[in-house]
Amino acid sequence: MREERTCQNCTTKFTVEPEDFQFYEKIGVPPPTFCPSCRLQRRLAFFNIFNLYKRPCDLCKKEFISVYHKDSPYTVYCPKCWWSDEWDRFSYGREYDFSKSFFEQFKELWRAVPVLGISIDTPTMETSPYTSHSGHLKNCYLLFHADYVEDSAYGFFHLYNHSVFDCAVTMSCESCYDCQNAFKNNSVVGGRGNVTNSIDSYFLRDCDNCQNCFASANLRNKQYYIFNKPHTKEDYFKEVERWDLGSYKTYQEISERANEHWKKFPPRPTYDDFSVECTGSYVFQSKNCAHCFEVSNVQDSKFMLLVADRITKDCYDVSSWGNNMTQCYECCNVGEDVSDVKFCHESGLGLMDAQYCKLSTGAHHFGCVSVKKGDYVILNKRYAKEEYEALVPRIIAHMNEMPYVDGNGIEYRYGEFFPIDLSPFAYNKTIAAGLFPLTEEEITRKKYRFLSDMDHAHSVTKNATDIPDHIKDVTDDILRETIGCVECGKGFRIIPMELSFLRRMKLPVPRKCPFCRVRAQFTRWTKNLKVVSRMCKECGEKFTTHYTEEDAPFVLCKKCYQKEII
């Protein structure tokens, strides 16, 4: 059975396929009333990773870095206190009230129970407190969505890196700068679009196993190439020396020239290494996956985003994390040895059979907040197994009989993720705003929350235009200056680890603040998450790719690209 439905949120048509109905029946949920895009937007409206604030822990009273502002109406604990046994999660437990909608009750519970102020592990908090949704970090600063990284700063989605700055979506890299979508590189600068296994190279796109290459695209197993032309070893170093990248002006010029040069060559149309029967973009080591983006080791799943590590199987609509996950649906930031988890946010670590939970670990939870131990729990109250199993169906029936109605008149029955108006974050402070941008007027009209930027107390002591053009002329005095960002005007500092890295790599001091740089990385990354229909310039076959005509006027299908490039 194939059925066309109208999205309850945006009113566009979307299709529920036969295999979708089979999945929903298997996990015991009704088909969705929101289209896939609106479901993703709704989940990501609960995901703030880039906005950090200093605030006191509401238990130990010590100041720490949190994703919750100090004026947030939530009880917020630092990671050390939240994970401790110094407080009782079950003391907040309450009876289910059949005179109120479920989401009303959950909202009240969420406001009462202490929440984790920032998702980082305790060792990371000691050495790298200015990070978010990260773990196993050492000496890192302003990294977001990162794991197993050392001596690095300013980036998004890092895994197993060392000494990497101003990069995004990188794995197993060392001494890299200004790179995006990079794997197993050493001393690569300015790389874009899947640069892999390369050394001592600059401004490459779609290149693999290259060494000492400069401003080129689509190279395989090459050395001493400049603008895609081969050179002798002596000529290569003599020519590259002319492009003194320690100069900020020269760096910007080469970056622009390389970007224009890349447009002469067809980009790799799809990134799907070791994958079969998959659609989307950046899908690796996966099979039978549809509409998936930035995933690896995923099987028999659909509408997945940012899911990696160990095998994920038989899941729909999960955004972020993964790592040994089965039969999960409509979750955000959920993972690590989890199964049968539905409609949950920021939960996992062995979680099983859980629905509508925030910050849960354990098993058999329904509508819980910050419950990390204990089974058969509803609204933070523990029950005997028989009582739990009898009460959950009654609650589900009540959710259908008494739906929650948001400010836009949309009804939320059982089977929907949390309404956006339950999000603890303003819409414009979540990553939903990056993928589904709305103006302040649109946010207000939709009755979501909008939060203006907080004033920063740092007074600018040096204009970016007054920084020496060349890194060799920059003294240690720069570490005492507050520089005015050329983009947003806010003050920022150069940290010692960063200055040491720039000097070692002979690269210029940045003129934009870290948040503007990370935002630019994220904006480039979001382009990978939407595919468009294009026609191969060689054979005329139609195919999908994330490259628009503006980004890449000249494209080839996968077969023609492999024939020409590989």
Tokens of 138: 């050492």
Which pLDDT score is estimated for 457?
60
Beta strands (DSSP E) in 357-490 are 363-366, 375-378, 381-382, 404-405, 411-412, 462-463, 483-484
DSSP 273-309: TT-EEEEEEEEES-EEEEEEEEEESEEEEES-EEEES
Beta strands 186-189; 381-382: pairing state:
unpaired
Backbone φ, ψ for residue 389 (5° rounding): -70, -25
Residues 161-188 have a mean pLDDT of 97
What's the pTM? 0.96
Which pLDDT score is estimated for 455?
60
Which pLDDT score is estimated for 233?
97
Measured between alpha carbons, how far is 48 from 432 in angstroms, rounded to an integer?
9
Measured between alpha carbons, how far is 146 from 161 in angstroms, rounded to an integer?
9
Cβ-based burial of 373 (10 A; exposed 0-12, middle 13-18, buried ≥19):
exposed
Average pLDDT of the chain, as a whole number: 96
pLDDT(357) > 90? yes
pLDDT in tens, 429-484: 999 999 999 999 999 999 999 998 876 567 999 999 999 999 999 999 999 999 99
Q: How crowded is the C-beta side of 107, counted as CA atoms within 13 Å?
A: 14
Segments making up each domain of the chain, as ranges: 122-262, 297-401
CA angle 558, 563, 564 (to 5 degrees): 100
pLDDT in tens, 26-46: 999 999 999 999 999 999 999
**Hey, CA dihedral for 312, 315, 316, 320, is it positive or negative?**
negative
pLDDT in tens, 101-140: 999 999 999 999 999 999 999 899 999 999 999 999 999 9
Which pLDDT score is estimated for 262?
94
